[in-house]
Chain A
Amino acid sequence: MNHFSSSIIKNLLLSSSFIVAASLSGCALISQQANSSSAHRATDEQPRLANGAELLQPESPAPDNQGALTLFGLPFLRLEYLFAVSLSIGILAFLFAWKAWKNSNEVAHCMAQLSVALDATGDRLDVLTDKPGRYDDEYRRQLNELLIRISRLEAQIQDQRLYSSGQTTVHGQASSSPSIASTPLSRVDDLTALIAQATPSFVVAAPPPPPAPDTVRLPAPTGPSKSTLIEALNSGNRQQLKAAAKAELNITRDYESAHFSGRSMRAELEEVNAGGSYWLIEIDGQHWLFPTDKTLRGIAEIGQDKGMYILEKQTIAQSQLLEPALLERTGSTWSLISSGTVAVP
């Protein structure tokens, strides 16, 4: 922990020294043009803190014989200053390019979302790695949720990129800087790798390969498959179902009454804004009824369902959805076409 703290402080100081150095070098650069001797003095001094303590210097870019380089006509410019200048210029270029890019299409919005997601993921990953063994399940869930979000955002970005590249081709505008587009994605890749190391049980779908630059046709968005969603439900991944769901459903009052009193009636469900016990998920034009994980657990607990699923006794620890029920729209409600199957302990 002490090592960790000291490294943080060291890093902070290092980054501070860079900022100071960058600022000073900027000043020096300007003043050099007017007065090279003043630039000489400025670069010849060790940067100091207000209380006189000497700042820690970056390890690699600063050689012992500072001031020996001659670049752009600046005889005593130190390597870190050059590095900082290039960094500053890079940041400025990044910002300008970002702004231009943002104005040109909506990819930037997705990037921003991704960036936020990455930041959040990074933070939580820190916590996870910092406290191994604590809240494992919870963090795994959260990571999983975030991964799903990232995957979705990646897909959006990919779509948007395709769309924008098509626009770019059509309008003949300059495409955005590759470094801007690749930076967040590379963070995704890194993060994915990190998460894969931290939680080997997760399988993260790799982002699709970038399309050919001359591609203008937009591929139809493909959602998760039925088996993927069944697996997600059975592994407790609520968010993936939530993300895929078209609506939340509850059984209608009429059907509920019939069910309780044992009257035969085709199961009917209605869409609700909240508090739904089922997800309506459309896959390839068919509407499937998935129970929520709570509903699935409830079926196991009482050993009965509301007439939408056939229960199969199996030697398992907790109930599992084997097949969702199939629905069709009838007016304002959804009716059962074929029952699903749930395996119960």
Chain B
Amino acid sequence: MTSSQPQDIVQIPWFPKTNPPLAGGAQAGEWQPRDQQSLGTIAKSLVYEVSTTRVNSLPSPWSRALQFEQAVLNTLYPTRDSLLEELFGGLACIGLWEMFGLRLEAQRVALLEHAELQDDAVGPFSRSLASALPDGGMALSRHPEGRNPWEIVYVFTLQGIVVGFSSPSTLFCPAVHLPQPIQGMSWTGNGRFANPVDFLGVSQRQALADWFSHVKNEMLRAKDLHSQTTAGQMAAVLDGFIGKLTGGRVGTPTLSDSARVADLPSNPVALSLLSRPAKGGLSASQSTLELGDRLKSPLPHTPVNQPVVLVDSDMPNKLGVSAADICLYKSATLESIGFDPQRLERQYGNEITVLTPNQIFLDELYLVSGEQALMNSWLPARLEGVPRVNGEAVTPLLPLRPEIRRLFSSRELQDRCELRVIQSSISSELEVRLTLPLHGQRDGYLVSRSYPLKEQNLVAEDLPVITLWPYVSDAHWSLYYLFCEDSPTALTVDGFSDYDRKLGRDGQQVVKYFTTTHFPDLVRLSERGQDRGLLPVIPPTQAPDQGNQWHVGIDFGTSFTNFFIDEGGGPERRHLDTRVISLTLSQKQDRQRLLNQYFVPEEMLPNAVNGGNPPTATAISLRGWQELLGQVPELFHEARLRVPTPGEFGGAELRTGFKWEQMQYQKPFLKELALLISATAAASGAKELQWSVSYPSAFSPNEVARYRRVWDTLCLDLNQLTGLRHSLNTRGSDGGLQTEAVAFASYFGNFQNRQMVHTSCLDVGGGTTDISIWQDNTLIHQVSVPFAGRDISSHLLRRKPSFLKSLFPPSLTADISDDEARARQDKNFTSRLDNIMRYGSDELLAGRLDMLVNQDSELQLPLQQFLSLLSVSFGGIYHYLGQVHQVLRREGKLTRTTPTPVYLGGNGGRLINWIDSSSHFQKGGDPDRLMEMLQIKASSCDSGNASTTLSDAYKDETACGLISSGVNLIGDFDPRDDAMVSGASLRVNDLTFAAGDRVLLPHDMECIDRYDLSDLDSLHAFVDHYDASVGELRLRSLLPIRQLCDLDSLWSEVETEVRSLCLAKVGKEACDLEPEPGFILGLRALTNTLGRLWAERF
């Protein structure tokens, strides 16, 4: 019932003619109600004729728009309610499209422009439309150019679906049919627009009501307002919508800041109002995760600045509210995204992280054999019931996806995870429940999944060894290691993107080392490259932040390295706790083997019950690394500290003796030791570690520089690796290093508060004897000589392994070969022997030695001679001490003319017990008197008390002394200014030194071309003094040297040995030359010769 102008309906016979003709209404499209009788009249008057010349019935293309117009204007319009409902639904789409994350577009259609087209479709159709344009009289706005407002309309498409077009009189004319529902807008579901109220959340309803209110007000205030009537009626309709939405409550409308419908002009105003949708108020999200630990200490992929929004289709049931009322993010509700997380992702993907239950749980549950197969994990404690497969107990792995690690810590999951075995008549299932913390949800949001216990998901292989180090809170630590066996088919650890991985490989054995800067509280397990679940670790407790400083004294020894710690209460020896934890109950022996060989052992041996560790064997294992000559191996995958024991010493992978050679091993060894100590410090709440480090002055200048460099870089490394502050103690020492001689003296002077008025200290270590001489608390001389435990006993025993095996029980010497040649080739023999001594000396000295010495047997004579040879070695050291005294007296530094009392200690120092007939060194005993006499004879001083006090803490003295304070020991502690006393005639290149001279090599000396002893007079003197002393003291337990050899032939052999030792020094760079007094070199030659002769005799 349309026409371009009021005409008689007969003249434009689009409808059947009537007879008699019936006049139309005054206004096209205007609804005029008639009674039922009128319809009957019309029906009877219709003329049905067949027309062959023109179309006489055509539905108006504008009828839909005009129906809506009527529905708005005429309250009696019969389909008004239905039409207004459609209009309501349609306008809701126009107002809410942005909130639903959709895209609304408008396309301008200018009918008159198209009407000119001379094609077969568009042109005729446009002309047809144009010819039947509705009257613009009821339009809301005037056309700016006074034209009919219906000439230009805009077709709206939402997500590409035509939803209607603009209507000058009703703002919008909804499409009569929707080919498909609009995503998330469930009121568009039945092919037409419906009342949207039931499908909108509270916030959305309010936002739409506010938008309607805005549209209404702007429409009424529009400057181009045309029909007051239409505007008033339309405003009433909008009020009706608002009433349905919010009961009439309107707030301040919030319109979109950014979203606009492109191509909609700013005039007419009524049309422009459709261009800007509602933004919606910022409703509190009901599904945003409340992150805790990961926000405080974010992982690399933790969404720190993005809310994590959970999308779960079960939310309406679980929360007891409709999907429309579940606000996900901003204006998006579960309803608005159509329960589709991907839509939320598309809509707000750059602002939020979307999480679904499927992204939390693994598809399958995997199991490992055994009931308590996991260690240091909270998972068993959170498991209710015992899951079984084929009747055997199994342990489930936590079936969460690895990505969950970036959101939650193990501690949080521990509080929020529950696992429960559910038995049914036909199967067993494991229900995993995870309560997610959501903003505003006090009790959290429960997501769960049930998994059948499947035999095929039981990891059949043995549990792998998986360990973690250090077990220290990451509030106090920076770098963690995860160690595990690697296997292409078995269960193993897989890393995360922020992990660094290294491999160790030895034959069939492959191990992995992962490093991470965060405590690895959730370990990712995989099998054949497929995720098998997480292994949650009980997080370490965070130590109270005490902020204190630890002072650590490190005595890096040839055989053993010792350390003392002062936490503030004075130096103490503290058992080294490795703080390594195992995460799987793997086979114990296999675990021990792997950890000892490739990583950090669970327990340092000897354990605290058996004497404790330190000292730690100066040894590392290179197992799994293909050694490259001279290359410094990295910790742990290339080298790691090794704790050899007599029971399990080690093989070709073991490296010892690197204090003096193969120094590239120093760094990994010291680094691990320092890290182990630091981990304990961190676990105790310490913030800073100050390292006091000793070194022997027998180090060559290059060795000292190198060692200092090692510690400098180590401190820098430690700063990075631990998160604690590390520094070298430079107080009272040179460049942070202290000589062992001074540190040793400090133990007696400071820690034990002994007098240092007229005193000598002898620290007989494994490789060097560090001598310091004190007068009135002032250091007057220090020297480190390369003659110590190894020279005293090891080299002897090495010559005669069968003799060694007769001294100690087979359990200690099982892997010592009887073959002397093999023993000589064994690079680790000395370390092996040191370990045997460490574990077996006490038992030997407790009675066995005495029995062997006094028992008439084949062993008696060689043993007696062996002990006498030990005595000769100690005598040589004391003799050299006397020689030094003599020089110091001559120089006026030592004023007293009596011999000095001696403090004797060190790991090698304990050997002096062997030569005491009581097996325990005693003041006034034979050895004590012998040493005193040798000192006197060598120094040519007056007689006097010069007893030796044996330390009660072998090997501890230097480490403890490094951090001890008390008596103000003074002096120039820099050994570079204190040249050694030669003790024998010595020639170095063109320089000649007499026995009483100090050996001071010029700085410009480059290469050692000549190095020899001019004569052996000093050694002759020593032998004479020694034998004389033994005679004078009437010692029976110790034999004179002349009874240990044929003196007539001895000296030629000693000369040869001296020559051999000197040649070893020739050719070296002067800065690489380890200083050695001439007498000590001769002493080495003498004892080597005597030892060889002894070994050959038996």
**A in complex with B:** yes
Asked if A304 is an interface residue, CB under 8 A from chain B, the answer is: yes
Given B373, B589, B597, B649, which contacts A306 in the complex, CB threshold below 8 Å? B589
A120 vs B454: C-alpha distance in the bound complex, in angstroms?
A: 12
The answer on a CB contact under 8 Å between B645 and A261 is: yes
Interface string of A133-144 (1 = CB under 8 A from B): 001001000100
Residues of A within 8 A of B815 (CB): 304
Interface segment, one of A198-206, A226-234, A294-302:
A294-302
Q: Which residues of B contact A145 (CB under 8 A)?
A: 460
Q: Give the CA-CA distance A59 to B651 in the complex, in Å.
A: 71
Q: Which residues of B contact A258 (CB under 8 A)?
A: 811
Contact B587 A277 (CB under 8 A): yes
- Cα–Cα, bound, A294→B588 (Å): 10
Given contacts A261-B610, A262-B809, 5 further A-B contacts (CB under 8 A): A273-B370, A275-B370, A277-B588, A292-B462, A301-B506
Cβ-defined contact, B606 with A262, below 8 A: no
Residues of A within 8 A of B113 (CB): none
Is A47's beta carbon under 8 Å from chain B?
Answer: no
List, in ascending order, chain A residues with CB within 8 A of B593's CB. 298, 301-302
- Given contacts A274-B585, A275-B588, A294-B587, is CB(A262)–CB(B645) below 8 Å? yes
Residue B547 interfacial (CB < 8 Å): no
A60 within 8 A of B: no
In angstroms, Cα B597 to Cα A303, docked, is: 12
B609 cross-chain contacts in A, Cβ below 8 A? 257
Q: Report yes or no: B811 in contact with A263, Cβ–Cβ below 8 A.
A: yes
Nearest-CB residue, chain A, relative to B596: A302
A275 with B646, Cβ < 8 A, contacts A257-B607, A261-B610, A264-B811 known: no
> Please, what's the 1-or-0 string for B732-744, where 1 marks a CB less than 8 Å from any CB in chain A?
0000000000000
Which residue, of B507, B589, B597, has the highest number of chain A Cβ atoms within 10 A? B589
Closest-by-CB residue of A relative to B485 is A294
B812 within 8 A of A: yes
15 contacts between A and B (CB under 8 A): A250-B589, A257-B607, A259-B648, A262-B645, A262-B647, A263-B839, A272-B588, A276-B588, A277-B587, A294-B590, A298-B593, A301-B506, A302-B650, A304-B648, A304-B815
Check if A298 sits within 8 Å of B462, measured CB to CB.
Answer: no
B647–A261 CB distance below 8 A:
yes
Count of B interface residues, CB-CB < 8 Å = 45
Q: Which of B354-372 contact A (CB under 8 A)?
A: 369-372
Most chain-B Cβ atoms within 10 A of its Cβ — which of A262, A273, A295? Answer: A262
Contacts of A257 in B (CB 8 A): 607, 609-610
Contact status A295-B371, CB under 8 Å: no
Set B462, B507, B646: member contacting A261, Cβ < 8 A: B646
State A75–B546 Cα separation when bound (angstroms).
101
Cβ of A102 under 8 Å from chain B: no
A301 x B509 contact (CB < 8 A): yes
Hey, which chain A residues are within 8 Å of B586, CB to CB?
A: 275
Q: What are the interface flags for B773-817 relative to A under an 8 Å C-beta threshold, 1 for contact and 0 otherwise?
A: 000000000000000000000000000000000001111100100
Rounded to whole angstroms, the CA-CA distance of A223 and B508 in the bound complex is 33
A216 to B771, CA, bound (A): 90
Contact A301 B507 (CB under 8 A): yes
Q: Does B840 contact A (CB under 8 A)?
A: yes
**Chain B nearest CB, measured from A192 CB (Å):** 21
Q: How far is the CA of A181 from the CA of B1045 in the complex (A)?
A: 91
Q: Contact between A142 and B588 (Cβ–Cβ < 8 Å)?
A: no
Q: B474-502 toward A: CB 8 Å interface, digit per residue (1/0)?
A: 00000000000000010000000000000
Query: Is residue B756 contacting chain A, with contact meaning CB distance below 8 A?
Result: no
Expressed in whole angstroms, the Cα–Cα distance for A241 and B460 within the complex equals 14
| A72 interfacial contact with B, CB 8 Å | no
What is the distance, in angstroms, from A217's C-beta to the closest C-beta of chain B? 29
1/0 per residue, CB under 8 A from B, across A20-37: the answer is: 000000000000000000
The interface residues of chain B lying within 8 Å CB-to-CB of A261 are: 605-606, 610, 645-647, 839
Please, which residues of chain A bring their CB within 8 A of the CB of B507? Answer: 301
Interface string of A248-265 (1 = CB under 8 A from B): 001100000111111110
Is B836 part of the binding interface, using a Cβ–Cβ cutoff of 8 Å? Answer: yes
Name the A residues within 8 Å of B455 (CB-CB): 120
CA distance A127 to B460 in the complex (A): 18
Residues of B with C-beta under 8 A to A238: 462
B605/A260 in contact, CB under 8 A: yes
A264 engages B809 (CB within 8 Å): yes
List, in ascending order, chain B residues with CB within 8 A of A301's CB.
506-507, 509, 593, 597
Bound form: Cα–Cα A145–B605 in Å: 40
Given A138-B489, A264-B811, check contact A304 B647 (CB 8 Å).
Answer: yes
Contacts of B369 in A (CB 8 A): 274
- The 10 A-B pairs at the shortest CB distance, nearest first, are namely A262-B646, A277-B589, A262-B812, A274-B370, A275-B585, A294-B590, A260-B645, A298-B593, A259-B647, A262-B811
Contact pick for A298, options B589, B650, B808, B840, CB 8 Å = B589
In angstroms, Cα B462 to Cα A142, docked, is 14
Instruction: List residues of A (261-291) whose CB comes within 8 Å of B's CBs.
Output: 261-264, 272-277
In the complex, chain A residues whose CB is within 8 Å of the CB of B649: 304
Cβ 8 A contact of B460, one of A142, A302, A303, A306: A142
Complex partner residue of B588 from A250, A297, A307, CB under 8 angstroms = A250
Evaluate contact between A262 and B839: CB separation under 8 angstroms: yes
A303 contact set on B, CB distance < 8 A = 651
Task: Determine if A302 and B587 form an interchain contact, defined as CB atoms under 8 angstroms apart.
Answer: no
Residues in B578-617 with C-beta less than 8 Å from chain A: 585-591, 593, 597, 605-607, 609-610
- The answer for the CA separation of A286 and B455 in the assembled complex, in Å, is 34
Please indicate the chain B residues that have their CB under 8 angstroms from the CB of A302 in the complex: 593, 597, 648, 650-651
A260's partner among B648, B650, B836 (CB-CB below 8 A) is B648
A273 neighbours in B (Cβ, 8 Å): 370-372
A263: chain B residues at CB < 8 Å are 809, 811, 839
Q: Which residue of A lies closest to B594 (CB)?
A: A298
CB nearest to A248 among chain B residues: B587
Q: Taking CB as reference atom, which chain B residue is nearest A257?
A: B610
Closest residue of B by beta carbon distance from A142: B460
Indicate if the CB atoms of A274 and B607 lie closer than 8 Å.
Answer: no
The CA-CA distance from A266 to B646 in the complex, in Å, is 17
Binary A-proximity of B837-862 (CB < 8 A = 1, otherwise 0)? 00110000000000000000000000
Q: How far is the CA of A286 from the CA of B815 in the complex (A)?
A: 31
Cβ 8 A contact of B836, one of A138, A262, A276, A294:
A262
- Please give, as numbers and ranges, the residues of chain A lying within 8 Å of B610 by CB-CB distance: 257, 261
CA–CA, A257 to B646, complex, Å?
Answer: 11
The docked-state distance in angstroms from the alpha carbon of A9 to that of B645 is 67
What's the nearest-Cβ distance from chain A to residue B898, in Å?
Answer: 44
- The docked-state distance in angstroms from the alpha carbon of A274 to that of B590 is 13
**Which residues of the partner chain B approach A277 to less than 8 Å between Cβ atoms?**
587-590
A306-320 CB contacts (< 8 Å) to partner B: 306-307
Roughly how many angstroms separate A212 CA and B369 CA in the complex, as a whole number?
40
With beta carbons under 8 angstroms apart, the residue of A142, A260, A274, A304 that contacts B372 is: A274
Nearest-CB distance from B639 to chain A (Å)? 17
Shortest C-beta distance, A135 to chain B (Å), equals 8
Mark A73-103 against chain B: 1 for CB-CB distance below 8 A, else 0.
Answer: 0000000000000000000000000000000
Chain B neighbourhood of A274, CB < 8 A: 369-373, 585
Highest count of chain B CB atoms <10 Å: which of A275, A297, A298: A275
Closest A residue, CB atoms, query B368: A274
Within 8 A of A (CB), among B558-589: 585-589
Cβ-closest chain A residue relative to B369: A274
CA distance A295 to B456 in the complex (A): 26
Compute how far the CA of A258 lies from the CA of B836 in the bound complex, rounded to whole angstroms: 13
Contact partners of B597 in chain A: CB under 8 A: 301-302
- CB neighbours of A295 from chain B (8 A): 587, 589-590
Cβ–Cβ < 8 Å partners of B508 in chain A: 297
Q: Collect the chain A residues with CB atoms within 8 Å of residue B589's CB.
A: 250-251, 277, 294-295, 298, 306
Q: Are B647 and A260 in contact (CB under 8 A)?
A: yes
Distance between B64 CB and nearest chain A CB, rounded to angstroms: 42
Which A residues are CB-close (under 8 A) to B373? 274
CA distance A184 to B992 in the complex (A): 99
How far apart are A313's CB and chain B's nearest CB, in angstroms? 13
